[in-house]
Protein backbone atom coordinates (compact mmCIF):
# COMPACT_ATOMS: atom_id res chain seq x y z
CA UNK A 1 0.00 0.00 0.00
CA UNK A 2 2.89 2.34 0.78
CA UNK A 3 4.32 1.82 -2.73
CA UNK A 4 1.01 2.80 -4.32
CA UNK A 5 0.75 5.97 -2.26
CA UNK A 6 4.36 6.86 -2.99
CA UNK A 7 3.87 6.19 -6.70
CA UNK A 8 0.77 8.36 -6.87
CA UNK A 9 2.60 11.12 -5.01
CA UNK A 10 5.50 11.05 -7.46
CA UNK A 11 3.12 11.00 -10.45
CA UNK A 12 1.35 14.09 -9.07
CA UNK A 13 4.69 15.76 -8.37
CA UNK A 14 5.87 15.02 -11.91
CA UNK A 15 2.70 16.42 -13.47
CA UNK A 16 3.02 19.55 -11.34
CA UNK A 17 6.67 19.87 -12.38
CA UNK A 18 5.77 19.56 -16.06
CA UNK A 19 3.11 22.23 -15.68
CA UNK A 20 5.10 24.64 -13.51
CA UNK A 21 8.52 24.33 -15.17
CA UNK A 22 7.45 23.58 -18.75
CA UNK A 23 10.26 25.54 -20.41
CA UNK A 24 12.98 23.77 -18.42
CA UNK A 25 11.43 20.39 -19.22
CA UNK A 26 11.20 21.24 -22.92
CA UNK A 27 14.88 22.29 -22.92
CA UNK A 28 15.92 18.96 -21.39
CA UNK A 29 13.78 17.03 -23.87
CA UNK A 30 15.18 19.00 -26.81
CA UNK A 31 18.73 18.45 -25.59
CA UNK A 32 18.31 14.81 -24.62
CA UNK A 33 16.37 13.62 -27.65
CA UNK A 34 19.37 13.55 -30.04
CA UNK A 35 21.41 11.61 -27.47
CA UNK A 36 18.60 9.08 -27.02
CA UNK A 37 18.29 8.76 -30.80
CA UNK A 38 22.02 8.04 -31.11
CA UNK A 39 21.87 5.42 -28.35
CA UNK A 40 18.81 3.83 -30.01
CA UNK A 41 20.61 3.79 -33.35
CA UNK A 42 23.64 2.10 -31.82
CA UNK A 43 21.46 -0.54 -30.17
CA UNK A 44 19.54 -1.15 -33.42
CA UNK A 45 22.78 -1.47 -35.38
CA UNK A 46 24.24 -3.92 -32.88
CA UNK A 47 20.99 -5.91 -32.89
CA UNK A 48 21.25 -6.16 -36.68
CA UNK A 49 24.86 -7.36 -36.54
CA UNK A 50 24.28 -10.19 -34.08
CA UNK A 51 23.15 -13.35 -35.88
CA UNK A 52 19.79 -14.78 -34.87
CA UNK A 53 20.05 -18.18 -33.21
CA UNK A 54 17.46 -20.54 -34.60
CA UNK A 55 15.27 -22.43 -32.19
CA UNK A 56 16.08 -25.75 -33.86
CA UNK A 57 19.80 -25.25 -33.29
CA UNK A 58 19.36 -24.36 -29.63
CA UNK A 59 17.12 -27.42 -29.03
CA UNK A 60 19.63 -29.71 -30.73
CA UNK A 61 22.55 -28.44 -28.61
CA UNK A 62 20.75 -29.03 -25.31
Give pLDDT, residue 22: 86
What does the pLDDT read at residue 42? 94
Report domain extents, the chain. Answer: 22-62
Alpha helices (H) in the chain, listed in sequence order: 2-20, 22-49, 55-61
- The pLDDT score that the predictor gives to residue 18 is 86
Residue 30, pLDDT > 70, answer yes
What does the pLDDT average to over 1-28? Answer: 91
3-state secondary structure of 52: coil
Amino acid sequence: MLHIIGGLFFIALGIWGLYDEYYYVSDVVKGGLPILMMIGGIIATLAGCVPVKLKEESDHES
